[in-house]
Structure 1
């Protein structure tokens, strides 16, 4: 898979916009899912339904994967997907979906930082500057939401930051240990490996079964979670892989800058409000992410 340096065509731009709309809409879908289900239920349901959607991709490749790579694939599924899915849901019980979408854009920053600390990657000064700016912007969002009153800071943003750290860890594991496996297969197999945990937690540690047939919002909640899992995870990954092949990984990664705009748009439509300090913080975060990824 090589970077295509030619200008992206119309088809690539269309795919980029569709992908941004899909992933940017994930945060409002989490918010709507939480009207019916608990955070643990949303996270594990999302994973298990996505596993079912990706199963046709996993079955042909599962027996071909080297056994020594199965533990890494499990870690990618557990740390890079299952735990973040739960953490995002927990965060959005107390955090606006628009803010969650913006903080999520710090993922590339943690990819660089974890690569530097644990995998001895080399980064340029401007990338380091971008990492610092990204953290400043995130702090501005958290403090600005409480008008810089420390007693009113919403610490649930830390759950989102923890999830982006896990994303950064997962991406580095993939880069260093699974580079010979297609990204779609990595996702499908890793989801398969953690699916027993998702299903076990859902059935044994939550009230999900009690809600089946008794909760009047059950069907609408399932519709939101299913859309989140199948469209926001399975279909989005197919689109992303297509975009990487038809354009370039660099062009595909630029979706990071569009996702917060979509998330903010959905938040405004749903009645969420942002104060001037949070808006400034959003701008700072996006500048930091841009500089952190600047070649």
Structure 2
């Protein structure tokens, strides 16, 4: 009973944190390039995690480090750049909506590649949630005809990376402490992210006020949207199913659209309908 209550609490908290991440990315892109933003996000997160969780690395056995590395690149490294680049051309709310394709990818990859089982009810929940997302996407396309939706494919690729990540964690790292997984991920990514940052002109522009303001938003994104949220997410995967855990992405658009409204992005009755359908899909996919 406690586990059942905990998974719903974690789902709601993650929805609020990750749903707010897209507006933080939007603010970060004001003064930073996508590669600078993605790199700084990982560097800030790695620094924070190594301070609080360095001792937890001893809990990772030698044979598990290959999966730690895989989940680091699939769950953080590639998506951090893909979503940042995508949001140079599409709204933050649209990016969050496309991220909602993660449960569908989790279900398909889990069944075909990782040998994980699922029930028909979960499949129906995923499909219903996907219908809600399609309503939101189509409505966004109509209201924003000037946006380059080719960049949306980058967000879709990011969602596929997340789908691979959640299945890897459930299959190979279920017995590892969430803090150990998260700290291990960013210990692996610290050097690659630093190399990417050094290949940009970051150190030439770091003194500009708009760059420093963007770095502030990226620091919040790194600590809350990456460090704290990843620890919670890995715990959610361990106490529930991959499909339920990935269904958090269905609730992100609702939070992201709320922030979008505050940032003068349009909200229509169709989007309200889509949000309701999304919640129905989450409920069905969560039932055992």
Scaled to the shorter chain, the TM-score interval is 0.7 to 0.9
* 2:218 is aligned with 1:225: yes
Separation in structure 2 between the aligned mates of residue 101 and residue 222 of structure 1, nearest angstrom: 21
Cα distance in 1 for partners of 2:266, 2:218 equals: 24
- 1:287 Cα offset (Å): 3.4
| Unaligned ranges ≥5, structure 2 | none
Higher helix proportion (structure 1 or 2): 2
Residue of 33, 36, 39 corresponding to 1:41: 36
The superposition leaves residues 8-27 of structure 1 with CA deviations (integer Å, 9 ceiling, x where unpaired) of: 6xxx85x7665443222111
> Aligned-pair distance for 1:52?
0.6
Post-superposition offset of 1:46: 0.6
Query: Residue 161 of structure 2 corresponds to which residue in structure 1?
Result: 166
Match of 1:102 in 2: 97
* Contact 2:178-2:232 at 8 Å conserved across structures: no
Mapped to 2, the partners of 1:149 and 1:259 lie a distance apart of 20
- For these two proteins, the number of residue pairs brought into alignment is 285
* Contact kept? 2:29, 2:88, Cα under 8 Å: yes
Assess if the C-alpha contact under 8 Å between 1:106 and 1:285 holds in 2: no
Cα distance change of structure 1 residues 151 and 132 upon mapping to structure 2, 3 Å threshold: farther
Task: State the partner residue of 2:2.
Answer: 4
User: What is the alpha-carbon distance in structure 2 between the residues aligned to residue 28 and residue 249 of structure 1?
Assistant: 28
Partner of residue 64, structure 2? 69
Offset of residue 97 of structure 1: 1.4
Q: Residue 19 of structure 1 contacts residue 255 of structure 1 at CA under 8 Å; is this kept in 2?
A: yes
Q: How does 1:250-289 map to 2 (within 5 A)?
A: 253=245, 256=249, 258-289=251-282
Q: 2:86 aligns to what?
A: 91
Structure 1 counterpart of 2:187: 192
Q: Which runs of 5+ in 1 are unaligned?
A: none
Q: 1:290 Cα deviation (Å)?
A: 3.5
CA-based RMSD: 3.2
Contact 2:250 2:278 in 1 (8 A): no
Shift in alpha-carbon separation, 1:146–1:65, aligned structure 2, 3 A: closer
TM-score, structure 1 as length reference: 0.82
In structure 2, the partner of 1:293 is 286
User: What is the TM-score when the length of structure 2 is the normalising length?
Assistant: 0.84
Deviates more, 1:131-140 or 1:227-236: 131-140
- How far apart are 1:185 and its partner, in Å? 0.9
Q: Which moved more, 1:190-199 or 1:256-265?
A: 256-265
Q: In the alignment, what sits opposite 2:206?
A: 212
Q: Which moved more, 1:275-284 or 1:188-197?
A: 275-284
**Residue 279 of structure 1: CA displacement?**
4.6
